[in-house]
A = this chain, B = another copy of it.
């Protein structure tokens, strides 16, 4: 094992985590309130050891344009609720049928299928009212909500998961695999940056730069994830190795091979890296994020 040296981005993740977790604790219904099993199910998956990548990107973008991220905390919590909702539903028997997630039993294996469906539904509903706890002068709540629905709905994550489902056991062409990943993973990562930038009061030109950076990093993130799925040991990933292939899922390494997928991720990340210096005060963290993903891609 190589010695652990955390990058600038990883240090930011570590520092942001307690703030994000505190916000999540605050906005989720108390575990003791009725119906307790529903709330327990929501909390089980929210506090299951996620990296809080999307909330951290939201806070980073906000800090990058305005210096302070306190106003963006409700949005950060909302993003993690949406991400968690998607993980719970993706693991269901009617979807990807995964029994494990991050090395722990999947939500539906602990709370049952019906309660897992409802916990996902409840997190999605709650995310929207949590998002609109952002009250900042000059920030239009409707624009925030539209950003999140675009990233989450049929043009975003949910649409991407539908494409994924429809593509199972088919050999999709690369173009379709990329389009699926852009929606399924890219849109919410991009949306996290846009949300933070909007809350920070970013100008339209700044928003466009975050969008361009987010598109590259979001797509690369999924390719890197698929590369890890091909290569890693079960212990590291916390789920069955090569499970994508076993399920007949189309992935970039599956379609063009590992070497070309690595080069593709690298190209995207280098392009994102060139955009990073113009992303404001947190440019160094964004650059470090691309390096962090580049390291994981090999």
A residues whose Cβ falls under 8 Å from a Cβ of B: 29, 33-35, 37-39, 42, 85, 89, 92-95, 108, 112-118, 120-122, 124-126, 128-129, 132, 135, 141-142, 145-146, 149-150, 152-155, 158-159, 161-163, 165-166
Contact = CB atoms under 8 A, between A and B. Distances in A.
A149 B129 contact: yes
Given A35-B163, A37-B166, A166-B37, A153 B92 contact: no
A113 B141 contact: no
Given A145-B128, A165-B115, A158 B122 contact: yes
A154 B141 contact: no
Contacts of A146: 129, 132
A95 to B, nearest CB: 5
28 contacts: A29-B155, A35-B159, A35-B162, A38-B158, A38-B162, A39-B154, A42-B154, A89-B118, A89-B121, A93-B94, A94-B113, A95-B113, A112-B165, A114-B165, A121-B121, A121-B124, A122-B153, A122-B154, A124-B125, A125-B149, A126-B149, A128-B149, A129-B146, A129-B149, A129-B150, A135-B142, A141-B141, A145-B145
A168 to B, nearest CB: 9
A-side interface mostly: helix
A124 B128 CA distance: 10
Given A89-B121, A114-B165, A129-B149, 4 more contacts: A35-B154, A89-B118, A122-B158, A132-B141
Nearest to A134: B142
Contacts of A126: 149, 153-154
